[in-house]
Structure 1
Amino acid sequence: MTETPVWAAADWIARTQLILDSYARWTGRELQSRVGDPAEQSRRLFEADFVVVAHGTEADPILCYGNRKALELWEMDLAAFLQTPSRKTAEPVHRDERREMLERTARDGYFDDYQGVRISSTGRRFLIRKAIVWNLVDADGQPAGQAASFADWQPLEANRGLS
């Protein structure tokens, strides 16, 4: 018996549509081409060669979406990723900067050209560049979290910092 891939699950497809619809709403552009049915769009976003992550609206937001590239970068399996508070994707020293960026996004709808340092589950640090962060909004216009996408990142050597 073959296990259904995560991107083919109904709730994952719905979350993918929320991410894609919200991105288009705020930016006026598509995150990826919207060809095919929602399941095909879900597969394509999960397998994309750029990172896509999202978190919910909890008081301490939990990650609710990560595509394959995000799972590789943060060095986690999906089960662990989906239990991670999104603040833990950044080192404590960088969390105030991250919080300010998320507050600006909440106020303005989206923020593009974000740059910041993140940390994987094994402690590997990396610099992300040219990230876009946007609010997730459901069909009724209610807040549903925030998402981010980027294709530009660079590993940072321990004790070397930003270069």
Structure 2
Amino acid sequence: MTSMIEFPWQQEAIIRHSQRLVDSFQHWTGDYLLDVNGSPLETAKALFEAPFVLASHGTELDPVFNYGNRKALELWELSWEEFTRMPSRKTVRNVELEDRKRLLAEAATKGFVNNYSGIRTSSSGQQFLIENVLLWNVLDEQNQYYGQAAFFSNWKFIT
């Protein structure tokens, strides 16, 4: 149970998903998400411990988060289990749901969208502005659509 909570990056499914995140980011942007030349396990650990926020959701009709690195879990004030059971729309204020829907559709069409900003809400109700978000489509090993991921390093709490 401890590894589920503290070290999800050690799970085989998360190691594979971490590789999908890295590969898909490079596919769409031509850049590297992070500079790691190690094993898949080392890549999964580096992503989870990265100094930026990284989160992804699946392909459900109401997409549910399937990944959040340590920074994402801290920012949203959730455990791994809580985060990976939550529909991603629940982090968005109601007034921004249409904007989010447009953003996800644009990324689905183009492959990725850069420089998005918006307000999100943590589990305790704390709101924060996320800036310079890069959102991209996650592809599986057969280059099939597997969901979407978001990466950002800039956020400000709103008081």
Task: Tell whether the structures are fold-level matches, with TM greater than 0.5.
Answer: yes
2:93 counterpart of 1:91: yes
- AA aligned to 1:35 is N
Could you give the per-residue CA deviations for residues 82-115 of structure 1, whole angstroms, max 9, x where no partner exists?
Answer: 0000111111111111111000000000001110
Change in Cα spacing, 1:2 to 1:106, as seen in structure 2 (3 Å) is: closer
Distance in 2, matches of 1:95 and 1:3, equals 34
Partner of 2:34: 32
Unaligned runs of 5+ in 2: none
Distance in 2, matches of 1:2 and 1:80, equals 14
- Shift in Å, 1:140: 1.3
Alignment partner of 2:24 out of 18, 22, 26? 22
Distance in 2, matches of 1:93 and 1:55, equals 21
Distance in 1, matches of 2:111 and 2:66, equals 19
Could you give the per-residue CA deviations for residues 28-64 of structure 1, whole angstroms, max 9, x where no partner exists?
Answer: 0000013110100100110011000000000000000
Tell me if the contact between 2:36 and 2:46 (Cα under 8 Å) persists in the aligned partners: no
Change in Cα spacing, 1:116 to 1:61, as seen in structure 2 (3 Å) is: same
Distance in 1, matches of 2:2 and 2:90, equals 33
Distance in 1, matches of 2:2 and 2:91, equals 32
Unaligned runs of 5+ in 1: 158-163
Count of matched residue pairs: 157
Alignment partner of 1:100 out of 95, 99, 102? 102
- AA aligned to 1:26 is W
Q: Give the TM-score, by structure 1 length.
A: 0.93
Partner of 1:74: 76
Per the alignment, in what secondary structure is the counterpart of residue 60 of structure 2?
A: coil
Tell me if the contact between 2:113 and 2:136 (Cα under 8 Å) persists in the aligned partners: yes
- Percent identity, aligned pairs only, is 43
Change in Cα spacing, 1:2 to 1:125, as seen in structure 2 (3 Å) is: closer
Alignment partner of 1:45 out of 14, 25, 47? 47
Could you give the per-residue CA deviations for residues 122-155 of structure 1, whole angstroms, max 9, x where no partner exists?
Answer: 1100000001000011121211000000000000
Distance in 2, matches of 1:79 and 1:27, equals 30
Q: Which has the larger Rg?
A: 1
Q: RMSD value over aligned CA atoms?
A: 1.3
Distance in 1, matches of 2:158 and 2:72, equals 17
Distance in 1, matches of 2:30 and 2:145, equals 18
Which of the pair is proportionally richer in helix? 2
Q: Give the TM-score, by structure 2 length.
A: 0.95
